[in-house]
Chains A and B, each alone.
Chain A
């Protein structure tokens, strides 16, 4: 079970507490989170289920490589962190 945490900035829009979910890829882990909060999907992923351009996803401190298919591997005890890239004004 991976641990998934979201930027606190998302809390302005919807609830997304730290969760532990099963899955061996970033896609599988996030799908597990979206199953409990479907609205969250469109905040993190675009219409084609790619990571939004200004959203960053890290696994254990490393930025994921596959932003289109989210195929980066995830193991039990890994930590997935979803936050916003710093942009805008």
Chain B
């Protein structure tokens, strides 16, 4: 069970620990600095914290002693190509490579780059094949000025097989470790796009993409205009129409062993990003989206305007403990698969990401 939580916020990193009396803040780091992403590398215990300093750019910090001390290491950066060239503005997601790739890290950025480090973050290389995709010209910013690689899923059976989600820019799959990519949108649609382009892979806004570790052929997507599920390794997608109380949202988590169990945090819709009826709920399916439970116990059911960002809902390795943090600085934990939630901290800065570590 995950007894430690790392919480990245607009104004610092918070560490929470579980004690017999409940969850409490055990430490803080980087107070005042925006934290965009966190990573715990279970292979070697290292922690990573990505910063988005408002004036001074993106930074990457690493701790090799469980968070006691941190060292700044190089952050991903685009190759120099001239004064019109790109520059990383946000480190959007961080994931470890496969179990057979010690020291490998992948980082998705805004603008939509994918970077690989093969040396624990000491150096980074842009994945040129993805960056050079002709379809990238149709990628767009989704809440940011530029498109971003928001999700990276590495197949636990074969590390060369990766599936990534771009917001906005679709789902892309590689079978050769990133040497080549193909879009996958069969069954998806983008209802905000001109009809003749609505089904194109590169226009899909993938808010969040997750893969079940124990059943990697099952993937879930919280899309800008709905929820989609694949059971054939992202070759095709089926829209989930049963989710309640709304199909819009950002956050999504899948059970580590049961591909049919997933959690969502719906909001009204894209132009009104607040909980339906100002009641914060978690939508959970345990039968592969045939039905959903709307979970409310312990969550505010009156005048709640919390939004949970795409990386701010986490499930631990047991599949029964969850945590989620909101834009209004509330952090809730559930010990029973979402049936009931407890407020673990209520006055944090806006929360960008939550990780069990």
Report the Cα distance A33→B284, complex, angstroms.
55
Give chain B's interface secondary structure class. loop
Q: Given A47-B85, A47-B87, A69-B83 in contact, is the A85-B77 Cβ separation under 8 Å?
A: no
**How many B residues touch the partner, as a band?**
20 to 34
Interface centre among B56, B75, B80, B84, by most A CB within 10 Å? B56
Given contacts A47-B78, A47-B88, contact A42 B83 (CB under 8 A): no
| CB atoms of A43 and B57 under 8 A apart | yes
Measured in the bound complex, the distance between the Cα atoms of B30 and A8 in whole Å is 17
Q: Report if B86 contacts A (CB, 8 A).
A: yes
Chain A residue numbers with a CB within 8 Å of B87 are 46-48, 50
Instruction: Tell me the interface secondary structure of chain A in the complex.
Output: loop
Cross-chain pair count, CB within 8 angstroms? 55
Contact with B along A3-17 (1 / 0, CB 8 A): 000000110111000
Contact A42 B57 (CB under 8 A): yes
Contact indicator A42/B75 (Cβ below 8 Å): yes
> Is B82 in the interface zone, CB < 8 Å from A?
yes
Residue of B nearest to A10 (CB): B56
Q: Is A37 in contact with chain B by the CB < 8 A criterion?
A: no
Of the residues A12, A13, A54, contact of B54 by C-beta under 8 Å = A54
A50 touches B83 (CB 8 A): yes
List, in ascending order, chain B residues with CB within 8 A of A49's CB: 80
Say if the beta carbon of A55 comes within 8 Å of chain B. yes
Minimum C-beta distance from A52 to chain B (A): 6
User: How far does the alpha carbon of A70 sit from the alpha carbon of B54 in the complex, in Å?
Assistant: 21
Which residue on chain A has the smallest CB distance to residue B83? A68
- In the bound complex, do residue B80 and residue A85 qualify as a contact, i.e. CB atoms below 8 Å apart? no
| Inter-chain contacts of B88 with A (CB < 8 A) | 47
Bound Cα distance A39, B53 (Å)? 14
Interface size class of A (residues with CB under 8 A): 20 to 34
Interface flags for B69-96 (1: CB within 8 Å of A; 0: not) read: 0001001011011111111100000000
Interface string of A68-79 (1 = CB under 8 A from B): 110000000000
Q: Which A residues are CB-close (under 8 A) to B75? A: 42
A46 to B80, CA, bound (A): 10
For the complex formed, measure the closest distance between the CB of B55 and the CB atoms of chain A, giving whole angstroms.
4
Chain A contacts of B53 at CB under 8 A?
13, 43
Q: What is the minimal beta-carbon distance from A30 to any residue of chain B, in angstroms?
A: 14
Closest to A13 in B: B56
Is A61 on the interface with B (CB-CB < 8 A)? Answer: no
Q: Are B57 and A52 interface neighbours, CB within 8 A?
A: yes
Among A73-89, those with CB < 8 Å from B are 84-85, 87-88
- Chain B's closest residue to A48 (CB) is B85
By beta carbon, the residue of chain A nearest B78 is: A47
Q: Are B81 and A87 in contact (CB under 8 A)?
A: no
B78 contacts A88, CB within 8 Å? no
B77 CB to nearest A CB, Å: 4
Closest beta carbon of chain A to B110's beta carbon, Å: 12
Q: Smallest Cβ distance from B273 to chain A, in angstroms?
A: 19
CB distance A55 to B83 under 8 Å?
A: no
If A42-B57, A54-B55 are given as contacts, then 10 extra A-B residue pairs at C-beta distance below 8 Å, sorted by A number, are A9-B55, A13-B59, A43-B53, A43-B57, A46-B57, A46-B87, A48-B78, A48-B80, A48-B83, A68-B83
Closest 10 CB pairs of A and B: A46-B87, A47-B87, A84-B55, A68-B83, A43-B56, A88-B54, A54-B55, A48-B85, A47-B77, A47-B78
Which residues on A are within 8 Å of B, measured CB to CB? 9-10, 12-14, 39, 42-44, 46-50, 52, 54-55, 68-69, 84-85, 87-88
Q: Can you give 20 A-B contacts (C-beta < 8 A)?
A: A9-B55, A12-B32, A43-B57, A46-B57, A47-B77, A47-B78, A47-B86, A48-B80, A48-B84, A48-B86, A48-B87, A52-B55, A52-B57, A54-B54, A55-B55, A69-B83, A84-B56, A87-B54, A87-B55, A88-B54
